[in-house]
Structure 1
Amino acid sequence: MSGLNIFRYFISASLLMVILVVSSCKKEGAAGIMTVLHPVELAIPENFSRPAGDLDNPLTSEGIALGKMLFYDTRLSGNNRLSCASCHRPELAFSDGVALSHIGESGKILPRHSPALINMAWMNKGLFWDGGSTNLESQAFGPLTSEDEMHQNLAELESELSQVPAYVKQFKMVFNSQVKSAAIVKALAQFERTLISGDSRYDRYVRKEPGGVLSAEELHGLTLVNQKCRSCHAGELFTDNDFHNNGLDQDFSDSSLEGIFQGRYRITYQLTDLGKFKTPTLRNVMLTAPYMHDGRFASIDQVLTHYQKNTQLAIPLSAAEKKAIIAFLGSLTDSLFIQNKNLSQPI
């Protein structure tokens, strides 16, 4: 790594959040002045695979900083009351802690649980619980424009942010553009791709680093997770990013809300996808209750009981095994991730 200029975008005790400047590029900014941007490459945890890069929206330190500002800005909502962080709180691993939110502009209860934003750079099989969006850029338009969420008119948003000199300057610098909705979602996506969680006690155990000690019960829980859960919660991401029917419901005849309860079938119209929903990661799972696409389970114990008693799944678990699994899941909590001031609201 000698010869590389190391740019510490996220100052953290963990080297996992260091971003390396690998090159620089220039864009012609206002008055013909050449603006230097700093392309970055995420420092990937050693036990992780590399995510695919986005050639249409390459990461730069300036773009990430702009995306962070936008993520916490309530002007992104029609009534200037909600930001992305209203439903994705850093201290809860960017989840919201409620089953079904009703803080959107309409006040209606949403039909689905707000997912946690963890390791989004690896989300390559579709976003939302049914995979209805193919990438982070297109995904952002959903909550931004939904009348039950942020309910923002995109033209009005462009106009409002264009009244802020700092935004005008940054959009010109980062995208050589006026404040446009396409650039807004690109900046948001850049910030979200930096939400890397890979420094839990489990990770330190795997990498044989200081602090990586698991108790006998936690190790037993790890063995049980490997035996009983890895078909869906696969690899070091603890998700296959795919879609599965885990036996929550049997009746999908209610096609109200545009088939919102039919899962992946709503997108593919393949009968084999009926009732399939995206596998959430187990990372930081003790922080992201309640669980499932509709938040129906308040605790991990309830989740495990479902898998234990559901005849479709029939995963046998004793009380001691459930206790061991829960103990291990606690070792997946990444305190540095949730406490990182550089991911939290700008002061």
Structure 2
Amino acid sequence: MKIYRLSFLILAALSLGCSKDDAEYIENPQFDLRVPANFSEPPEFPDNPLTTAGVALGEKLFFDSKLSGDNNISCATCHKPELAFSEGSALSTKGISGKPLLRHVPTLINLAWSQNGFFWDGGSKNLESQAFAPLAHEDEMFQDLQELEEELKAELEYIELFENAFNSEIKINLVMKALAQYQRSLIFADSKYDKYIRNENDVELNQQELRGYSVYLDNCAQCHQSDLFTDDNYHNNGLDATFLNFSNDEMFLGRYRVTRNPDDIGKYKTPTLRNVAITAPYMHDGRFNSLKEVLDFYNSGVQESETLDPLLIQNNKIGIELNADDQEALLAFLNTLTDSKYL
């Protein structure tokens, strides 16, 4: 097993409105981010390298309901460890307003490798800035950031944790950095598939799972690239034929909302297939309740539009046709991607 050793923390005032006062050289034990043998090495984050104190602070913040305006909702309210840091409903109503969100809550799996934007349309460039949106949104955590800073400063434990992690007093941009560090520490790579592919503990896939692995390689791997099981990119997978007849039009235009490129209309980020058996429902709007519904959709429900991904047009037919046996085999393989470490 490789261990990717990150250098000692050197905070630089390069992002999130950091002041020159933040740019201090601090010795703080590095966090040994585990890099599984079947993974590539993750990118470095020189503006926010992982440290043991930073990850610990981020974990405490992640589970602390003080981050919400009414002090009742934490990040973990909608990103539940037992559901691989997903939420379990199509459109969550667990936010402070109780209103359904406009998009399905994504899982938080192996984000240390994600480099191409966050949210379903890539509306945030990095994890450090991503957290601002749910914290401030009126239907999610609806927290006044200045008020949050004062709440945290009222606790001696947080004062000490920020000093240990960043050699600094409590600042909102450091809250975001700590949350990002914790999320990047969440590595999912100990499923049955992983042990098989790494030849660990004599783990073998059975005949049906091996057939399903072959079906995956032939039909799914171009977008759900192993071993992260995502290409970290955006695709129109044919969920809808038109995109302008919805309410809240901008939220339903996919990647176009960010890029303003017409070629990106209807494109959403490829979710990972890791732990997919326990992160139902599926798609950016949670419209499918089961993996069987997903496979049936790809088999006969894909809708044509100008930006439909060419990968979904095979032999002049739209979709991915799998017979019943291949579907069952693929479902068996997908279940081998469940890693229960954090569940």
Matched residue, 1:332: 337
Is residue 317 from structure 1 mapped to residue 308 from structure 2 by the alignment? Answer: no
Residue number among 281, 286, 295 corresponding to 1:290 in the alignment:
281
Secondary structure of 2:271's counterpart equals: coil
Secondary structure of 1:306's counterpart equals: helix
Residue number among 175, 190, 206 corresponding to 1:184 in the alignment:
175
Contact 1:25-1:39 at 8 Å conserved across structures:
yes
Contact 1:255-1:262 at 8 Å conserved across structures:
no
Show CA shifts across 1:176-219 (max 9, x none).
Answer: 22211100000000000011001110011111111521110000
TM-score, length basis structure 1? 0.87
Which amino acid is the alignment partner of residue 191 of structure 1?
Y
Is residue 114 from structure 1 mapped to residue 105 from structure 2 by the alignment? Answer: yes
Which amino acid is the alignment partner of residue 279 of structure 1?
T
The structure-2 alpha-carbon separation of the partners of 1:22 and 1:310, relative to structure 1 and needing over 3 Å to count, comes to: closer
Secondary structure of 1:79's counterpart equals: coil
Secondary structure of 2:211's counterpart equals: helix
Contact 2:34-2:187 at 8 Å conserved across structures:
no
Matched residue, 1:80: 71
- CA distance in structure 2 between the partners assigned to 1:237 and 1:270 by the alignment: 27
Secondary structure of 1:43's counterpart equals: strand
Show CA shifts across 1:132-161 (max 9, x none).
Answer: 001100001010110000000000000001
Contact 2:120-2:268 at 8 Å conserved across structures:
yes
Residue number among 241, 255, 269 corresponding to 1:264 in the alignment:
255
Q: Percent identity?
A: 51
Q: How does 1:1-347 map to 2 (within 5 A)?
A: 36-210=27-201, 212-254=203-245, 256-257=247-248, 259-311=250-302, 312=304, 313=312, 314-338=319-343
Structure 1 range deviating more: 81-90 or 249-258: 249-258
The structure-2 alpha-carbon separation of the partners of 1:264 and 1:20, relative to structure 1 and needing over 3 Å to count, comes to: closer
Which amino acid is the alignment partner of residue 332 of structure 2?
A
Unaligned runs of 5+ in 1: 1-14, 28-33, 339-347
Show CA shifts across 1:88-120 (max 9, x none).
Answer: 111110001111001111111101000000001
Contact 2:26-2:167 at 8 Å conserved across structures:
no
Deviation at 1:39, TM superposition (A): 1.4
Deviation at 1:36, TM superposition (A): 4.7
Matched residue, 1:341: none
- CA distance in structure 1 between the partners assigned to 2:9 and 2:82 by the alignment: 35
Contact 1:201-1:333 at 8 Å conserved across structures:
yes
Matched residue, 2:20: none
- CA distance in structure 1 between the partners assigned to 2:63 and 2:139 by the alignment: 19
Equivalences, count: 316
Which amino acid is the alignment partner of residue 284 of structure 1?
N
Contact 2:6-2:50 at 8 Å conserved across structures:
no
Matched residue, 2:307: none
Contact 2:9-2:49 at 8 Å conserved across structures:
no
Matched residue, 2:308: none
- CA distance in structure 2 between the partners assigned to 1:232 and 1:110 by the alignment: 26
Aligned CA-pair RMSD: 1.8
